[in-house]
Structure 1
Amino acid sequence: MFVDVLIIGTGIAGVRAALEVDPKLRVVMVTKDQVSVSNSSWAQGGIAGVLDPSDEFSNHAEDTITAGAGLCDEDVVKAVVESAPKCIRELAAYGANFDKIDGHIALTTEGGHSHPRVAHALGDATGKELMRALIDSIRGASGTEIWEKTFTIDLLTYDGECRGALMWNSYHGKTFVWAKQTIVATGGAGRLYRETTNPDIATADGHALAYRAGAELRDMEMMQFHPTVLYIAGSSRHLISEAVRGEGGHLVDVAGYRFMGDYDDRLELAPRDIVSRAITDQMEKTRHPCVYLDLTHLDPNMIANRFPNISEMCREFGLDLAKDRIPVRPGAHYMVGGLTVDLNGKTTLPRLWAAGEVTSSGLHGANRLASNSLLEGLFFGINAGLGASEAALQIPDNFEAPPVLSGSTFMENQDSLNLTDLLNSLGAIMWRNVGIRRDETGLAAAATQVDFWERYVSLREFQSVEGWELQNMLLVARLIIESARARKESRGVHYRSDYPESDDSFQGHVSIVSQQ
């Protein structure tokens, strides 16, 4: 089938892009799950923007650049930060209900921010409310079709350009969707790691699709680890928002000692990379599998009103957020590296655009500032949607489908592989060797193991989503490891114990392009 604009992903970047496409154009937006399932919907903390008269754009920019540890593009930072108030007002116009105090949007402080500038909704379920409003809006847009439960197997390329994608769903099987312009907004890669805040859908699909198609990726070694993930042995991991510390929560070890003062003057509100490493160090010092969030000194009514969802989640495990110390430890949270894009969301592959967590836009540098991710998704979603729309309008409707050449080598029944065992093994080695602390010995061992798995998995022609996801995850794991080995220094979220200091000779991007 033929469409004008194909959008892969239905998080905040993908949906916001769709809303910018000219209504005269035919738009298809696909997601491998339901439209409401995305990392964006799971976002708790909020969206950062200068809304307080005592704050300034320069403050937000400086905080972003400081967190980014020398890899931010200052022009990108300036553009995104200055767009934030408008982006937030537009969300309200789409029907998002932000929390308010005395009629004004309520603002809180999170790690790395010098001023209160994080707007939130439903207390601690900001992403859920923002996505509700945006999805309601896109469902009313006449030019957009939404395909749920549809997996993107590969991008289609011809003459060095992206021409759409090969899709699969249980209703139609495999389908070629030829598109004048394609936008990738598939989110992150947290499921590569055993400990993660991400939902099961975060399997690095967009990174893998784009790499195989020939687009440039960069800074793939930069995976951000959130410091505070609820740690209950045997249970799923649940994020405890940065805002909990922003409202005054303390981090203490098993002995009750508040330890962040030993690591950073900003205490619990230091940037995430610093807090995550501090927690890891403290767990090793105390030989205990976690540390604890302590809110017992705060007003119980404030806790209940500000964090209703986190409070309810804790109650499910017999914990009272206001009375008990909450066991936490870090987990993979946000993929900072990704597709190289310019300010308009253009990738290095013609006719391919990208927005959101799947990209490396220059905003985050080597470490993302808290609550800048939803903002980035909005800014680049808008720009990619506008750019793809304008480009599609310039292409005539009589373009033909190019010939299809398959790169598969053979087909083998996937029953010969235990996919669950492979996924668990991959998550374990990535967490152990390519996690918060890295060194050449561990990275080399991970590279050997992942290369072995990839050799016998990549050639199989799977017939299921689980198999395609595994192929994508192994590919991206290899790219992360290669990039981590190439960056022989510590910078931002990338910490190497064998190169513990930053090195000015590495103050640049690690870029990767497929040689096939």
Structure 2
Amino acid sequence: MKQNIQHYDVLIVGAGLAGLTVALSLPEQFKIALLAKQDLNTCSSNMAQGGIAAVLDPQDTVAEHVQDTLVAGAGLCHVENTTHILSNAAAAIDWLCQSGVPFTYHEQSLHLTREGGHGHRRIVHAADHTGWSVTQTLQQQLATKSNVTCLTEHRLQQLYVEDQRCYGAELKDATQQSVQVFAKYVILATGGTGQLFELTTNPETSTGDGVALAWQAGCRVANLEFIQFHPTALALKGSKTFLISEALRGEGGILRNQQGERFMPAYDERLELAPRDIVARAIADQIQKQQQQPVLLDMTHLEKAFITEHFPSIYQHCLEQGLDISQQPIPVAPAAHYACGGVLTDAIGHTDIENLFAIGEVACTGLHGANRLASNSLLECMVMGRDVAHAIVQQDEWQVPKAEAELVQPDFTAVSAQFELEDDFDVVTLQQKMTQYFGIQRDFAGMQYLYAQLNHWWLMTEQQYPMLLTAMLMVHSALQRQESRGTHFNRDCPQTLAEAKMSVIAAPAQQAVPQPEVTSLVC
């Protein structure tokens, strides 16, 4: 059989906002391949509702935006990288405006809304479908670029690495045939890990492949235990998981329990605008108290015209489900939303492997720390994407990311005999167990069992599923942390330690150390 071998200057794995930004920011003399697991629209960026955080109000400052991000990140943000990314927000917004993105305006200026954790109105948006408006606009530009080949329905299988340098990747096309792609630069923009859980706002392509394959190729990964659960996903029986934007709370939405009582005053003085981890845990607590019934997000005190103008997509979607949100409260529950950790990089996306960049949600720059501040993610995609393009054009010297943390190497060859484990692996069971034992609230006993089960599956299954490996790395990271911080809440360790430390897992090429004794995991 004839081999399918292709050559490019740049291979971009992932066609969301991060990947699109790189493809459109590189000069046309570069031959580029843009890979998508399905079509170009199947990505988290396309589904983003709220907006993009940027300091555009004269009364606001980048320093305040940085400070809000650090507070939400619960001590784990990388200050220098955070400052770099947020300082480039205004330029990124200007780039989108020049590209023709139809943002919402108020009088002659961009309309700015506010979301949880932000001290000012600084969310640029296109009604309540910002991600869709941005990606559709950029896809139209992409269609005019003769130097970009879109490899839709292609899946990344492995990265080609030799002497700590990446030179391409093996792909599988829609017919499951192998495609060998050789490239001077490879950019991982593969998105998040939401599909490792039962309920998620992520598309079906968000299976964490980039983390697993980068780690296998020799990259460190960091802070994988920090999974942000969006507090408010639509919780209607028989309805698919659908994000109810934080912007609704930013514009006055009130959270109530089934008795109609506003409950956030009992949890945080910032009420509905507290950081997402606090709101999500409060909602989870209320749901547990009311026999797993969802809580209610009440918008009925606002004018219907205001709701339909600011949130047309959400209003229409709920109306199609038989719910008029101007007259009825919205039943909501938390859903897996955003991975705060990922492949360890600097602010430009450099990994441990030369010529391999990681950008967007798959990367861990330190911007998000232990909990992402709302609407910083689309911004990160654009700033990193533009910076990567500049670095490639300039052929900058490769900068290996720094991490002041102890490296921990998991051992995937031993399984504890104390648990009764299942032999047969399937994705649905993986999602159920991750949700049960690695959700909003966790404990050591549940995570120890989960880690043993994941290990057992890894040893028993002939096919090595990247999402299974990513799940193992995530749980391993969590078992190292003897505290609760940000989105990681351990019932056995509810306190937060004085010193914030990253969780960094060494690449598999490094010498392994024994996996932790489960009996020693006490706080």
Alignment of 1:81-96 (within 5 A): 81-96=86-101
Residue type of the partner of 1:383? D
Q: Deviations over 1:257-298 (max 9, x none)?
A: 100000000100000000000011112223242101011111
| Equivalence for 1:58 | 63
TM-score in terms of structure 2 length: 0.89
| Equivalence for 1:413 | none
Residue type of the partner of 1:514? A
Deviation at 1:153, TM superposition (A): 0.9
Residue 200 of structure 1: SS of its match in structure 2?
A: coil
Structure 1 spans left out of the alignment, 5+ residues: 395-416, 461-467
Question: Is the contact made by 1:181 and 1:391 (CA closer than 8 Å) also made in structure 2?
Answer: no
Distance (Å, rounded) in 2 between the aligned partners of 1:499 and 1:418: 31
| Equivalence for 2:34 | 29
Deviation at 1:141, TM superposition (A): 2.2
Residue type of the partner of 1:131? T
Question: Is the contact made by 1:36 and 1:135 (CA closer than 8 Å) also made in structure 2?
Answer: no
**1:248 pairs with one of 252, 264, 281:** 252
Residue 145 of structure 1: SS of its match in structure 2?
A: strand
Question: Is the contact made by 1:180 and 1:392 (CA closer than 8 Å) also made in structure 2?
Answer: no
**2:286 pairs with one of 282, 300, 318:** 282
Cα 1:30/1:328, change in 2 over 3 Å: same
Q: Deviations over 1:228-276 (max 9, x none)?
A: 0101233311100000101100000000010000000010000000000
Deviation at 1:393, TM superposition (A): 12
**1:127 pairs with one of 106, 127, 131:** 131
**1:485 pairs with one of 479, 482, 498:** 479
Question: Is the contact made by 2:222 and 2:504 (CA closer than 8 Å) also made in structure 1?
Answer: yes
Alignment of 1:164-203 (within 5 A): 164-170=168-174, 173-203=177-207
Whether 2:47 is the aligned partner of 1:42: answer: yes
Distance (Å, rounded) in 1 between the aligned partners of 2:174 and 2:269: 54
Residue 132 of structure 1: SS of its match in structure 2?
A: helix
Distance (Å, rounded) in 1 between the aligned partners of 2:498 and 2:142: 45
Alignment of 1:212-227 (within 5 A): 212-227=216-231
Residue 395 of structure 2: SS of its match in structure 1?
A: helix
Distance (Å, rounded) in 2 between the aligned partners of 1:348 and 1:243: 37
Residue 385 of structure 2: SS of its match in structure 1?
A: helix
Question: Is the contact made by 1:181 and 1:392 (CA closer than 8 Å) also made in structure 2?
Answer: no
| Equivalence for 2:209 | 205
Residue type of the partner of 1:490? S
Whether 2:351 is the aligned partner of 1:358: answer: no
Deviation at 1:392, TM superposition (A): 9.6
**How many residues are aligned here?**
481
Residue 224 of structure 1: SS of its match in structure 2?
A: strand
TM-score in terms of structure 1 length: 0.90
RMSD across aligned positions (CA): 1.8
Residue type of the partner of 2:32? V
**2:106 pairs with one of 101, 108, 113:** 101
Residue 239 of structure 1: SS of its match in structure 2?
A: coil
Question: Is the contact made by 1:223 and 1:336 (CA closer than 8 Å) also made in structure 2?
Answer: yes
| Equivalence for 2:411 | none
Residue type of the partner of 1:108? T
Whether 2:17 is the aligned partner of 1:12: answer: yes
| Equivalence for 1:402 | none
Residue type of the partner of 1:98? F
Question: Is the contact made by 2:296 and 2:331 (CA closer than 8 Å) also made in structure 1?
Answer: yes
Cα 1:418/1:137, change in 2 over 3 Å: farther
| Equivalence for 2:84 | 79
Residue type of the partner of 1:499? C
Distance (Å, rounded) in 2 between the aligned partners of 1:98 and 1:418: 51
Cα 1:204/1:25, change in 2 over 3 Å: same
Deviation at 1:418, TM superposition (A): 12
| Equivalence for 2:501 | 508
Distance (Å, rounded) in 2 between the aligned partners of 1:297 and 1:30: 45
Q: Deviations over 1:190-212 (max 9, x none)?
A: 00001111111111111111011
Residue type of the partner of 1:356? G
Deviation at 1:384, TM superposition (A): 1.6
Question: Is the contact made by 1:250 and 1:293 (CA closer than 8 Å) also made in structure 2?
Answer: yes
Distance (Å, rounded) in 1 between the aligned partners of 2:393 and 2:132: 27
Residue type of the partner of 1:510? S
